[in-house]
Chains A and B, each alone.
Chain A
Amino acid sequence: MRGTSTTAAAAETTLHRSRRQRRFWNRSGRLAVPYLLVVPVVVVIGLVLGYPLYWLARLSTQKYGLFELIQHHGTSVGFANYSSVLHDQIFWHTLLRTVIFTVANVALTMVLGLLIALLLVRVSTVVRLLLSSGLVLVWSMPVVVAVQIFYWMTNFQNGVVNYVLTELHIGNFDQHDWYATTFSQLSLVTVLIVWGAIPFVAITLFAGLAQVPHDLVEAAEVDGARPWAIFRDITLPVIRPILLILTSLSIIWDFGVFTQPYLLIGQAKITPGNYLMSIYLFEEGYFKTDFGRGAAISILMLLIVAVLSVVYVRRMVRIGTAQ
């Protein structure tokens, strides 16, 4: 009951303060301030990416291979590149596969990351330092090395995973080839990506949890509130913006992930049957030096990711504008 009265009091003060709020941030004659604050970022991004974006868009409407690259001149073919990609069966199969892959990766990353962040709050200082440093160690491992370690661990002849699973009598995994089927391959890639992504999510959420009103939580605990209620009513509202951000970022990144699947599965075992979107882009566009097609696929990917993440992004923007 004390909890609700505190929130009621806070709400009252907010009402009183709202008028003065505007005065703090939007003093008269300072309308130019937000634009000034935003200019450096816009300038940097515009300078560097302005031309490449234009180039990409123009290229997607041209026939542009190695020959044209050397000549610095392509021939315009209208939307032929787009139409060829959209009529390609492989494109659609890859898209479906990548969507499922993204959902699985993002779900696992966010859930496990949040759980570990909550754990970080509860452990003692020494364990917290150990665990967070360990997470950073994981985070800082170069992808190439991480892939190689995972490969060794899952090697069908002498990998520890097979060895341990067999020793623990979970089943006979002796000489089990983890790379035999597409599902198995992509599952391994998922484990690798989630493992590598958890540190970022956990540490960022941990930083967000640091903003949760500590005394409110203690007061609620003293009143006998259940942990789930505390989480839902006190913690979640504070970290909601960050959760949304991390989810939208994870969707964007996991949809376009390239290095981990490309290296773990290996160029020799990559087939249209296990393509992910970024690998499809790489193989069909850049590996074959069909840059026009590559540009078209890039733009299509951009549009697809935008559609996929629009729900989270819009919610994120709305939270900010509500204030």
Chain B
Amino acid sequence: MKKVMTGNEAAGIAAKLARVQVVSAYPITPQTTIVENLSDMIGRKELRARYMPMESEHSAMAGVIGASLAGARAFTATSSHGLVYMHEMLHYAAGARVPVVMVNCNRALSPPWNLYCDHTDSLAQRDTGWCQYYCADAQEVLDAILIAYSVAEQALLPVMINMDAFYLTHTSELVDVPNQEAVDTFLPPYTPSNKVDVDDPKTFGNVCGADLFASIKYRRHWHTLLLEKLWDSTAIKFADHFNRLHPTVEAYRTEDADVCVVGIGTAGGAMRLAVDRLRKEGLNAGSLRLAMMRPFPRVRFEKAISTVRHLIVIDRDVSFGAEGILAQEMKAFLFDRHADVKFTGFIAGVGGKDISAETTAGLVRQALFGNGTAVEAGTSFWTDVLL
């Protein structure tokens, strides 16, 4: 059934369709309507689950970890400072191999206070061991949460579904809501092989010597690398059921592209429009939206850039003293593989500034021809800076 709804409403409906059994959360703008809606669905018994109104995000993540260890399907949502406050427990969740799914509403970090879109919050969690997926629209938010539970429960690793603050969280769009029976077929109940159980007592996270420690981490690293293929195969299965495909990388007109602009989140739409304009100007342009950021989608990324001579990345984030985080990720991938590819990194749209098609086209022109308003800082160029 098609309905007009915000990304946050889509997230709550997806959690309900996934039949989550425990929701453990703490409110933060702009995530609030997700957990408000879920608490109401649970209160009205439309969703048979426990709602745990935790006293902090650290405890919210601890709560879903506990519930998942006990064998329940668990969900939480947060944003910005909440996500950063969870940092310790994010490491714990991945290490404990709990298949929890969390929605993060990408919002800037203070100071100064700012409620708007910025990807530094989640990208700064890239080393915690979570699978990270970034959505482009409300439909993708709904669908990705369902795919995420399937992926998480196959891999026994947690998945973070990211959506841009306000661009997605509070903007209404037409969303096709699948029916419960179809979702139940795609996503059967969670039946863990390993859980905290008095009839089969085990230790979880006990002290461990260096020999076994390395082996445990090595296995986890491999399982995390495999998430790229697992997501894509699960997404194809999802498409078989629902006729919508959500791959790890969304490529647009890259088949013959010489120049390719790369970004994440809602900027994908503007990037496609910019590509069309640049093509009219005679440039062989293409665009890539990285939906998956952890693990880095090596296979699809490499395939998509096979003809590209110049990669232009737009980071809505920064690693201070280095450069944009996407830029670092891509350079790390390109090193020793595509040393001949030219690379330009921009930092744009931080703190909610719109990244329009015109902005994007302008950045591509600046990267190619040198004239533009973005100012240099180390190896990257910043837009919208007052000097």
> Are A and B genuine complex partners?
no
